[in-house]
């Protein structure tokens, strides 16, 4: 059996490793266009924050380990350009190695199998498959506007992006971040940790539109306290390189030209670096061209076994959709746990171990300076547009028991459905004990728990870790009054 995988990141390498564990005799080939596989993409902002850490610390397992220990035919620098679902082949070109490598002799050397050397000569390759996994991930949304191709205007998605930013930062004093999402906010903290002045700007008028305003305000305050200026409601018009004559050491600045969406006033933000963090889109072009079905945001449509509309082709990771456990509908929430889990599930299914994934709850957590921000399930707006009779409460409580030192404010927003009385979603913000608390609500969402039943759960209590009534229980109690 020939199992071919396009993409060597979380979903792809999880699938490859598990397939070889399940069926050591299986021929598993991974075609990765970059020279990097198996790295912690989510760790990049934290690595960038520390100039003493090597960015390649983020590599969890080196390519050669996959090749030698796991016996995976891992081919880096192989860009797939076409999937032929009828002939059951994938084809593409071998692209040259990146030159930015900090260690060109390790994971970046070409594979030394005879097969590859032959392909290398022609610079093209074609592989037959019995089962194919598309794990092409997502790519940053780069606005099609003047100046986004200038040096110093950089997205952050791949390790190569991370290397480029980290190396560029050495001479940076001032940064503009376009976009205020997870990556933008994490990068904001990273840059401030390196004493870089940070300004954030976004076209939407709401600072964090998916977040309950009362909670978004707490996040905004954290940015204010840390000296980060944010501009919401400013459309980006272009980026220009400008010469600043009075600054000898920095005479080649970038200028982000923005326009207030209401007043039309122009705002010019200058910077040494511009981080483009305006969101991502699924890399589903190959699938579309192969005639596979797509769904939300153009992601590849898969069933619970991760199979696409073609019986022999699976998709997993940031390029594929999922079922949302709250709505039962398709959604596209590209996050790392789902990618790893989906990779495993594909490998199991390909190896004849039937595995169906129930779906995602959209659970996410991130850090902005000292704040922990977490969510699971739907916002009240999402719930209403999914047909729920949704109501919401926001409560403000403490992270530790009455009079216990180190107690911090915890803000919880909780959404329930009047018809079914189900718990629908939770958002939390606070400096202490938010990150892992959200998981209790996530588990409840998977089993369609009512708010009543959730309120009855026996959650842990000790004074250093929470009040007797956990913030989630206090929120549930308030929500019950509205249901």
97 catalytic, yes or no?
no
316-330 burial: b if 16+ Cβ within 10 Å, else e: bbbbbbbbbbbbeee
Sign of the torsion formed by the C-alpha atoms of 430, 431, 437 and 439: positive
Q: Which is nearer to a copy of itself, 296 or 335 (CB)?
A: 335
CA–CA distance, 344 with 216 (Å, rounded to integer): 36
In whole angstroms, the minimum distance from the beta carbon of 6 to a copy of itself comes to 21
**What does the block give as tokens for 184?**
């933008």
Residues in contact with a copy of itself, total (CB under 8 A)? Answer: 70
When asked if residue 468 is in the footprint of a copy of itself (CB under 8 A), the reply is: yes
Q: Which is nearer to a copy of itself, 239 or 444 (CB)?
A: 444
Using the rule CB under 8 A, give the single segment among 150-158, 244-252, 361-369, 407-415 that binds a copy of itself.
361-369
Q: Which is nearer to a copy of itself, 103 or 285 (CB)?
A: 103
In whole angstroms, the minimum distance from the beta carbon of 4 to a copy of itself comes to 24
Sign of the torsion formed by the C-alpha atoms of 72, 73, 75 and 79: negative
**What does the block give as tokens for 297?**
């945001």
When asked if residue 139 is in the footprint of a copy of itself (CB under 8 A), the reply is: no
When asked if residue 408 is in the footprint of a copy of itself (CB under 8 A), the reply is: no
When asked if residue 193 is in the footprint of a copy of itself (CB under 8 A), the reply is: no
CA–CA distance, 424 with 95 (Å, rounded to integer): 47
In whole angstroms, the minimum distance from the beta carbon of 347 to a copy of itself comes to 14
Selected catalytic residue, list 42, 188, 283, 351: 42
Helix (H) / strand (E) element for 183: namely helix 182-193
Write a three-state SS string for 91-135: EEEECCCCCCCCCCCCCCCCCCCHHHHHHHHHCEEEEECCEEEEC
When asked if residue 480 is in the footprint of a copy of itself (CB under 8 A), the reply is: no
When asked if residue 397 is in the footprint of a copy of itself (CB under 8 A), the reply is: no
Choose, by CB under 8 A, the member of 408, 439, 478, 483 that binds a copy of itself. 439
Q: Which is nearer to a copy of itself, 257 or 434 (CB)?
A: 434
DSSP code for 301: P
Choose, by CB under 8 A, the member of 119, 301, 349, 372 that binds a copy of itself. 372
In whole angstroms, the minimum distance from the beta carbon of 19 to a copy of itself comes to 16
For residue 93, the cross-strand partners are 79, 124
Q: Which of residues 268-297 bind a copy of itself (CB under 8 A)?
A: none
- Residue pointed to by tokens 């030209």: 257
In whole angstroms, the minimum distance from the beta carbon of 296 to a copy of itself comes to 17
**What does the block give as tokens for 261?**
């969406």
Using the rule CB under 8 A, give the single segment among 128-136, 199-207, 275-283, 395-403 that binds a copy of itself.
395-403
When asked if residue 147 is in the footprint of a copy of itself (CB under 8 A), the reply is: no
When asked if residue 451 is in the footprint of a copy of itself (CB under 8 A), the reply is: no
Q: Is 386 exposed, middle or buried (0-12, 13-18, 19+ CB in 10 A)?
A: middle
When asked if residue 401 is in the footprint of a copy of itself (CB under 8 A), the reply is: yes
In whole angstroms, the minimum distance from the beta carbon of 401 to a copy of itself comes to 6
CA–CA distance, 71 with 76 (Å, rounded to integer): 15
Choose, by CB under 8 A, the member of 276, 415, 433, 451 that binds a copy of itself. 433
Q: Return the number of other C-beta atoms located less than 10 Å from residue 92's C-beta.
A: 20
Q: Which of residues 22-61 bind a copy of itself (CB under 8 A)?
A: 40, 42-43, 46-47, 50, 53, 57-58, 60
Q: Where are the beta strands (DSSP E) in 316-466?
A: 322-323, 330-331, 364-368, 371-377, 390-398, 409-417, 423-430
Q: Which is nearer to a copy of itself, 243 or 402 (CB)?
A: 402
Helix (H, G, I), strand (E, B) or coil at 482: helix
When asked if residue 413 is in the footprint of a copy of itself (CB under 8 A), the reply is: no
In whole angstroms, the minimum distance from the beta carbon of 439 to a copy of itself comes to 4
Q: Which is nearer to a copy of itself, 73 or 407 (CB)?
A: 407
Contact 399, 371 (CB under 8 A): no
Q: Which is nearer to a copy of itself, 288 or 468 (CB)?
A: 468
43-61 burial: b if 16+ Cβ within 10 Å, else e: bbbbbbbeeeeebbebbee
CA–CA distance, 278 with 269 (Å, rounded to integer): 17
Helix (H) / strand (E) element for 34: namely none
Q: Return the number of other C-beta atoms located less than 10 Å from residue 243's C-beta.
A: 8
CA–CA distance, 483 with 477 (Å, rounded to integer): 10
Q: Return the number of other C-beta atoms located less than 10 Å from residue 445's C-beta.
A: 25
In whole angstroms, the minimum distance from the beta carbon of 477 to a copy of itself comes to 9
Q: Which of residues 310-329 bind a copy of itself (CB under 8 A)?
A: 325
Q: Which is nearer to a copy of itself, 89 or 439 (CB)?
A: 439
Using the rule CB under 8 A, give the single segment among 138-146, 169-177, 305-313, 336-344 that binds a copy of itself.
336-344
Q: Return the number of other C-beta atoms located less than 10 Å from residue 239's C-beta.
A: 26
In whole angstroms, the minimum distance from the beta carbon of 312 to a copy of itself comes to 25
CA–CA distance, 345 with 355 (Å, rounded to integer): 6
Helix (H, G, I), strand (E, B) or coil at 334: coil
**What does the block give as tokens for 98?**
């990146």
**Residues binding a copy of itself (CB under 8 A):** 10, 40, 42-43, 46-47, 50, 53, 57-58, 60, 325, 335-338, 340-341, 357-367, 372, 374, 376, 401-405, 433, 435-447, 449, 453-454, 456-466, 468-470, 472-473
Active-site residue list = 42
């Amino acid at each position: 059996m020939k199992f071919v995988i396009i993409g060597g990141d979380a979903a792809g390498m999880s699938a490859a490793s598990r397939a070889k564990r399940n069926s050591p005799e299986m021929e598993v080939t991974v075609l990765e266009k970059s020279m990097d596989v198996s790295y912690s993409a989510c760790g990049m902002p934290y690595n960038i924050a520390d100039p003493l850490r090597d960015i390649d610390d983020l590599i969890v397992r080196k390519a050669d380990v996959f090749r030698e220990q796991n016996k995976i035919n891992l081919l880096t620098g192989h860009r797939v350009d076409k999937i032929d679902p009828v002939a059951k082949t994938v084809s593409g070109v071998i692209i040259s190695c990146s030159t930015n490598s900090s260690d060109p002799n390790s994971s970046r050397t070409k594979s030394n199998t005879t097969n590859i050397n032959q392909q290398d000569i022609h610079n093209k390759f074609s592989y037959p498959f019995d089962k194919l996994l598309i794990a092409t991930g997502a790519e940053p949304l780069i606005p099609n506007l003047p100046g986004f191709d200038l040096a110093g205007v950089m997205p952050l998605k791949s390790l190569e992006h991370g290397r480029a930013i980290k190396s560029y930062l050495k001479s940076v004093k001032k940064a503009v971040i376009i976009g205020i999402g997870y990556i933008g906010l994490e990068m904001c903290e990273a840059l401030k940790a390196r004493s870089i002045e940070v300004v954030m700007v976004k076209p939407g008028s709401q600072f964090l539109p998916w977040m309950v305003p009362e909670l978004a305000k707490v996040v905004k305050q954290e940015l204010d306290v840390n000296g980060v200026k944010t501009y919401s409601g400013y459309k980006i018009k272009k980026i220009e390189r400008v010469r600043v004559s009075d600054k000898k050491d920095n005479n080649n600045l970038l200028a982000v030209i923005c326009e207030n969406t209401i007043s039309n006033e122009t705002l010019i933000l200058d910077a040494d670096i511009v981080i483009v963090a305006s969101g991502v889109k699924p890399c589903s072009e190959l699938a579309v061209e192969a005639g596979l079905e797509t769904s939300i945001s153009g992601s590849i449509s898969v069933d619970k076994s991760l199979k696409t509309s073609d019986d022999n082709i699976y998709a997993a990771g940031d390029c594929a959709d999922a079922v949302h456990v709250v709505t039962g509908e398709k959604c596209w929430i590209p996050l790392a746990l789902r990618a790893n889990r989906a990779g495993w599930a594909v490998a199991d299914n390909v190896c004849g171990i039937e595995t169906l994934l129930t779906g995602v709850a959209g659970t996410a957590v991130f850090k902005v300076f000292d704040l922990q921000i977490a969510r699971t399930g739907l916002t009240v707006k999402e719930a209403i547009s999914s047909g729920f009779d949704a109501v919401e409460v926001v409560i403000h409580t403490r992270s530790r028991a009455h009079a216990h030192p180190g107690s911090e404010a915890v803000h919880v927003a909780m959404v329930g459905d009047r018809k079914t009385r189900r718990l629908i979603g939770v958002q939390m913000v606070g400096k202490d004990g938010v990150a892992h608390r959200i998981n209790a609500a996530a588990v409840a969402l998977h089993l369609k728990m009512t708010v009543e039943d959730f309120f009855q759960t026996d959650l842990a209590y000790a004074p250093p870790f929470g009040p007797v009534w956990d913030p989630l229980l206090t929120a549930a109690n308030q929500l019950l009054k509205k249901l």
